[in-house]
Structure 1
Amino acid sequence: MREKVEITPYDPAWPALYEAERESLLKELGGDVAAIEHIGSTSVPGLSAKPILDIQIGLSEMVPATVFEERLQRLGYRHQPGADDPNRRHFFRKGVPRTHHVHILTMDSREYRRHLLFRDYLRSHPETVAEYEALKKDLAARHGHDRGAYTDGKTAFIEEIVERAQKERGQE
């Protein structure tokens, strides 16, 4: 069954839900994790979003997904191997409909840094949050039953914001 893309108003409970999940992940994964970050739209105060918490787990070096599968299953996560790049990224999701995503990446990867740059830029630029929210709502209205098209429609905007964030930080 395909899940409908639904954008909901910002929920002030999202940060607390993330913190609770972070604690569960730390208890289950312990020393295998170098960092855990709340990323994605639910991590940006005031931004409407799909009500799915995106959590990024940073590793010092990539390991096979099997290292995490059983322990994450105990927390209700299911590995999504089709969304993996085994050498760079593992992806797990939780809930039906989904409520959480876990992205496992190495901390030195482009994607790991990109997620943080995008989140941090939005947190400090409310005018950009409004633009992004309008884009997301428009895409959800046009591609509500096609998650791939919805996601693809955000790519150019996200890349532009990451470039701005890099320039702002002198990382061109």
Structure 2
Amino acid sequence: MKVQLSDYQHEWPDLFEREKSVLLDKIGPWLQGPIEHVGSTAVPGLKAKPIIDIMAGVKNLDSSVKAIEVLQNNGYCYYPYKADVMHWFCKPTPEYRTHHLHLVPYDSPLWRERIKFRDILRNNAKVAEKYEQLKVSLARDLTDDRESYTEPFIESVLREFGC
């Protein structure tokens, strides 16, 4: 899927809240922590891929394996991407995505990093502006490589802010 950025859409938080309600109903038994809106669509004003990123806290990956089938039966496509740290899903199809779901052990390093980075972007306009400029530039030059277009920046910001 090519990286295509969109201006911030004010309905993104509502889309997250609606999906959160569905997820609470479907995977509540496996939740250990909250369901969080993460990624760029969780940052007001920030350009983003128009895909709602959701992170749900689970006790651990082994105890949440049964949630995979439940989610697959409810419109999510499972893919063993970074299976050592999360269960990863997209919706409705890999070719056309409106949602990404990450079942991540609650309070794990990955959990803390994603929450911290989101909160830095929400609370620091200069960092958010630099991130957006980088995303626009790299989305133009690396349209097929989603990870390389953000990971080094995220790592440097987390180091700068003590993570």
TM-score w.r.t. the length of structure 2 is 0.91
1:157 corresponds to 2:157: no
CA distance in 2, matches of 1:64, 1:85: 14
- Aligned partners of 2:142 and 2:149 also within 8 Å: no
Residue in structure 2 matched with residue 44 of structure 1 by the alignment: 43
What is the identity, as a one-letter code, of the residue corresponding to 1:108? D
Sequence identity of aligned pairs in percent? 38
Residue in structure 2 matched with residue 142 of structure 1 by the alignment: 141
Residue in structure 2 matched with residue 169 of structure 1 by the alignment: none
CA distance in 1, matches of 2:160, 2:22: 34
1:94 paired residue among 74, 91, 96: 91
Tell me how far 1:154 sits from its aligned partner. 1.5
CA distance in 2, matches of 1:30, 1:56: 13
Residue in structure 2 matched with residue 57 of structure 1 by the alignment: 56
- Aligned partners of 2:58 and 2:64 also within 8 Å: no
- Specify the SS of the correspondent of 2:118: helix
CA distance in 1, matches of 2:109, 2:133: 27
Q: After TM superposition, where is structure 1 displaced by more than 6 Å over at least 4 residues in a row?
A: none
Tell me how far 1:64 sits from its aligned partner. 5.7
- Specify the SS of the correspondent of 1:160: helix
Query: How big is the alpha-carbon RMSD for the aligned residues of Structure 1 and Structure 2?
Result: 1.5
What is the identity, as a one-letter code, of the residue corresponding to 2:38? I
- Aligned partners of 1:118 and 1:165 also within 8 Å: no
Gaps of 5+ in 1: 167-171
Residue in structure 2 matched with residue 26 of structure 1 by the alignment: 24
CA distance in 2, matches of 1:12, 1:98: 18
1:11 corresponds to 2:9: yes
What is the identity, as a one-letter code, of the residue corresponding to 1:26? L
Tell me how far 1:70 sits from its aligned partner. 2.2
Gaps of 5+ in 2: none
Tell me how far 1:160 sits from its aligned partner. 1.3
- Aligned partners of 1:39 and 1:119 also within 8 Å: yes
1:104 corresponds to 2:100: no
What is the identity, as a one-letter code, of the residue corresponding to 1:101? H
- Aligned partners of 2:139 and 2:149 also within 8 Å: no
CA distance in 1, matches of 2:57, 2:64: 13
